[in-house]
Amino acid sequence: MSPVKGGKGSLKEYKKRRDFSKSPELEGKPKSTGKKRFVVHEHHATRLHWDLRLEIGGVLRSWAVPKGPPEEPGVKRLAVQTEDHPVDYIDFEGVIPEGNYGAGTVEIWDAGSMELVEEKKDKELKFTLGGKKLSGIYYLLKIKGGKIPGEKNWLFFKAKG
Ligand code: MN
């Protein structure tokens, strides 16, 4: 998968990668719902991974977490930022057919409230999650000095205490 620019509040990249006549995924538009939510999709693609999505700025900012979200403090997980998704994607579950981007089964692993506590643009996000599996204060910290240009590697972990 080529690196994608996420976190821009645009769905250009999302649309570019999909053929909506062949995928059950929705086309969607950026929109403000007034809700503060998150979802984690369990995505049985070529490689199983989990997609963390935070509702910020009218889109779902998204990160692919290969080893799954950390449920306990002290566990740091790689989270690769991917393209922003439409807010309505928060309820999506289904099967993306073979031959399409992200082909495989998508199901909701956890969901709930999300409150952005602090953002240092393109560096750090601090937020609270109120889900069934993920609950408490979490951080996403961008890893600096990636060797591959455009790479969007972050660390995802739960705060102690
Ligand atoms: Mn995915």
Residue 141 maps to a domain? yes
Q: How confident is the model at residue 2 (pLDDT cuts 50, 70, 90)?
A: very low
The helix (H) or strand (E) run that includes residue 35 is none
Q: Kindly state the tokens that stand for 156.
A: 């995802």
Domain presence at residue 2? no
Q: Is residue 5 part of a domain?
A: no
Question: Using one digit for the tens of pLDDT, what is the confidence trace for 117-151?
Answer: 999 988 999 999 999 999 999 999 999 766 666 66
Q: Residue 57 belongs to what domain range?
A: 12-158
Give the distance (Å) from ligand 1 centre to CA of residue 64: 6
Domain count, the chain: 1
Q: Please state whether 90 falls in left (phi above 0), alpha (psi between -120 and 50) or beta.
A: alpha
Can you give the pLDDT at residue 145?
Answer: 66
DSSP code for 104: E
Residue 83 inside a domain? The answer is yes
Position 6 pLDDT exceeds 70: no
Ligand 1 mean position, distance from CA 25 (Å): 12
pLDDT in tens, 43-60: 999 999 999 999 999 999
Cβ(112)–Cβ(131) below 8 Å:
yes
Residue 1, domain member (yes or no): no
Q: How far is the CA of 41 from the centre of ligand 1 (A)?
A: 7
